[in-house]
Structure 1
Amino acid sequence: MSTFFTTRTATSQRPSKLDFRDWSPASASLISGLALLAMVVLMTAGYFGGVTPLITPGDATKTAQDISQSAPIYLAGVACIFLVILLDVPVAGAWYALFKNVNRRLSAAAAWMRVTFAGIFAIATSQLAYAYTLLDDPDRALHAIESFRTIWLISLGLFGLYLIAIGYLELRSTFVPKIFGILLAISGIGYITDALGVALVDGFTPMYGLFAIIGETSCIFWLLIKGRKLTIR
């Protein structure tokens, strides 16, 4: 009997592969790198390849017609965006595991920022799904699509704060090249600038977030090539 309970106790104390708090830096790097790469592919295919080509700004009738005629493509695009949102959660957990030894509180705060951003992004994306149900009323459908874009772009301000926090953690770490921390901080500032512009300036065209491509893409390569070989605890 004692052996049975001893075995159960040992088993229950064994780290779970699903518990991100137990992930090693190498595992956290690999998981986040693969998830981020998948997010890039899904967002490119879903939003830029599936949704955006069917939207004609200012022309509600044509937008509704194009979406109706290419409904499977539009819905697949929306589904891809929702998958991107789901992947934000393991990335948040993985980066917490990666940087918790640098600053546990800031790492936790950053993780919650990303999860919160994912929640707002989900609300925004639901507007795209809602627009599909309004195709018989083109003006309302286009308004829902425009609401998606506005909510998403403004929420990127929170994502920008997240990138600045991660950039700071990378600068403080001893295992990530400092250049990546600088690039992520610049990316974060770009997102915040775009968010403020959209929120406060009529007709503002977001452009500064484009700098994020450099910082975020370079981090993906580092995570998959160098990060997955980390041996620190």
Structure 2
Amino acid sequence: MTTRSKYLNIQNSSAIIAGTSLLIMTFAAFFSFGYVHNSLVVTGDSASTLKNIQVSVSLFEFEILGWLVIIISDIVVSWAFYVFLKPIHPEYSLLAGLLRLVYTATLATAVSNLVIANNLVLENTPLLIESMDILASQVMTSIMAFESIWSIGLIIFGAHLMMIGYIALKARQIPKLISILLVAAGASYMLIHLLYSFFPQLDSATAIMETILSIPMIIGELGFGIWLLFKGRKISSFD
């Protein structure tokens, strides 16, 4: 087998690995954030949030496990994207991969705050009634730290997606619609989370904007992942 054939096999395998990892990550995110986090965490109500977690500690721990799956998948995708897109533009592909690794490190830091919140609940059960308010405040502080740090990380994630979309636009084999959706998804992530992180007074307007932009934000990378699984793995060369 020639060196070119070996690299082609690795490149095709990277498309399958990236696509599979993105699907796994999507399901994990829907479970951990879309279902568990949004079910247990009541914004602005630390007492109800604490009560929900105490009643469903195992579910909260499954949320953390889901985030761990996402972190591992992100590391895999960073490598797979780099290998797959390297023939198009080696330097930009490396930069895109590094941006995703920085985002992943930020996400891991954010998730560590959920671990802290979980430990606080486990270590302080049962408690005297007068101590519950203090515990609820501590748990909510950790959860809010998770959300704030993750939001900052998503700005970096948006830059990563924009870079991936820009690289994809240079390859005629990758559908232009997918490339444009990647750029749009990246720009949407950056805009929404810049507003959430640095302009909290606009949260209501940002939430409406996030709802409007949720379609490109979801479809962009997920669409690329599906394309990689069914079409990208068959690419023989980029020219």
Query: How many residues were matched structurally?
Result: 216
Structure 1's consecutive aligned runs of 4 or more residues displaced over 4 angstroms after TM superposition are: none
- How far residue 25 of structure 1 moved from its aligned partner, in angstroms, is 2.7
The residue type equivalent to 1:88 in the other structure is: D
- How far residue 22 of structure 1 moved from its aligned partner, in angstroms, is 7.8
The answer to whether 1:72 aligns with 2:77 is: no
Distance 1:152 1:165, change over 3 A: same
Distance 1:209 1:79, change over 3 A: farther
The answer to whether 1:103 aligns with 2:108 is: no
Among 176, 185, 188, the alignment partner of 2:186 is: 188
- How far residue 125 of structure 1 moved from its aligned partner, in angstroms, is 0.8
**CA shift digits 1:37-81 (9 cap, x unpaired):** 000111111222222201111111111111011011110111111
The answer to whether 1:26 aligns with 2:12 is: yes
What secondary structure does 1:183 align onto? helix
How far apart are the structure 1 equivalents of 2:118 and 2:26? 24
How far apart are the structure 1 equivalents of 2:22 and 2:143? 25
Higher deviation after alignment, 21-30 or 215-224:
21-30
**CA shift digits 1:158-186 (9 cap, x unpaired):** 11110111001100013211111111000
How far apart are the structure 2 equivalents of 1:161 and 1:180? 16
How far apart are the structure 2 equivalents of 1:70 and 1:110? 38
The answer to whether 1:121 aligns with 2:140 is: no
The answer to whether 1:85 aligns with 2:59 is: no
Give the equivalent residue in structure 1 for 2:199: 201
Give the equivalent residue in structure 2 for 1:139: 137
Give the equivalent residue in structure 2 for 1:172: 170
Identity fraction in percent: 28
Mark the runs of 5 or more structure 2 residues left unpaired by the alignment.
125-134
Distance 1:150 1:230, change over 3 A: same
Contact 2:8 2:236 in 1 (8 A): no
Contact 1:27 1:228 in 2 (8 A): yes
Mark the runs of 5 or more structure 1 residues left unpaired by the alignment.
1-13
How far apart are the structure 1 equivalents of 2:224 and 2:96? 17
Among 139, 154, 157, the alignment partner of 1:159 is: 157
Contact 1:22 1:97 in 2 (8 A): no
What secondary structure does 2:120 align onto? coil
**CA shift digits 1:89-127 (9 cap, x unpaired):** 111111111111111011001101001100000000111
Q: Which has the higher contact order (CA 8 A, sep 6+)?
A: 2
**CA shift digits 1:170-210 (9 cap, x unpaired):** 00013211111111000011011012101221242441651
Give the equivalent residue in structure 2 for 1:37: 23
- How far residue 219 of structure 1 moved from its aligned partner, in angstroms, is 1.1
The normalised TM-score by structure 1 is 0.87
